[in-house]
Every structure is written in structure tokens, then in C-alpha cells.
Amino acid sequence: MTKAPERYAMNFDWVWGPDNPYLDKVASLAMNLRGADPEKLEALLERWLAGLEYDAEHGHYFHGGFSVEVQDRGNGTAQIVFTSGGQDVAESLGYAVDEFYEQVLQHLTTASVTWTEQPLEP
């Protein structure tokens, strides 16, 4: 039996920890996906991205308190960075990656994913 790639679990110590005492920093979570069925991944990504707003000037998608930068995609791979900041950083980032999991990742059975918490930025 195959299963979906690993779901990200919000690390509250990362976004609310001592490096962000005033909750005024920006958190970015990078996702690297490999080994997915190319056609299935592309269709799922297109459907998910269609539900977000697009900022053509900056090349980012956004919804509520988070933004998404698709850095690379194709041939069954994707590199995406989820970003949020401010008082609701954990909620917004958590919502973004949960929705991504529900709409994209859980439907992929051959892919693997790596989540990387980037250093917080001012």
C-alpha cells in the first residue's frame, strides 16, 4: 500500500520562540516535492493555485495572511515557499500548509516531500 507524502506539523517554537518575542518577524517554510506523477501533480497544483489570488508584480500567490512562491515545478517535482508574518504567523502558515496537504499532497502516492523551516526575517 502506498501513502501520501508527510504532512507538515506546525512548529510553534520556531515562529513564537525567543527569536520572535514581539511576533514581528516573517516565517518562510520551504517545501521540496519529488517523485510525483507529473500529470497528476500539475493538475492538482493548477486547481490549488486557482483558489489563491495572484500578485503578478511580485510573482506570488496569496490568501489571507500568507503568500506562496512557486520557485520551480515540472516533471513530477515542485519547490514552493509558504510565507507569513505578524501576530497570526502560526495560524496563517498552518492554514496554508494544511490546505496544500488536503488539496494536493494527500492525493499523491508516489511522491516524497521535505519541509525546511527558514530563518525568521525582520
- Residue ranges of domains in the chain: 23-117
Whether residue 88 contacts residue 6, with contact meaning beta carbons closer than 8 Å, is answered with no
pLDDT band at 1 (very low <50, low <70, confident <90, very high): very low
Q: What is the pLDDT of residues 49-103, one digit of tens each?
A: 999 999 999 999 999 999 999 999 999 999 999 999 999 999 999 999 999 999 9
pTM: 0.95
CA separation for the pair 58, 101 (Å, rounded): 24
Does residue 38 surpass a pLDDT of 50?
yes
Residues whose CB falls within 8 Å of the CB of residue 91, separated by 6 or more in sequence, listed in order: 65
The CATH T-level fold of domain 23-117 is Alpha-Beta Plaits (3.30.70)
Of the candidates 109, 96, 88, the one whose C-alpha atom is nearest the C-alpha of residue 70 is 96
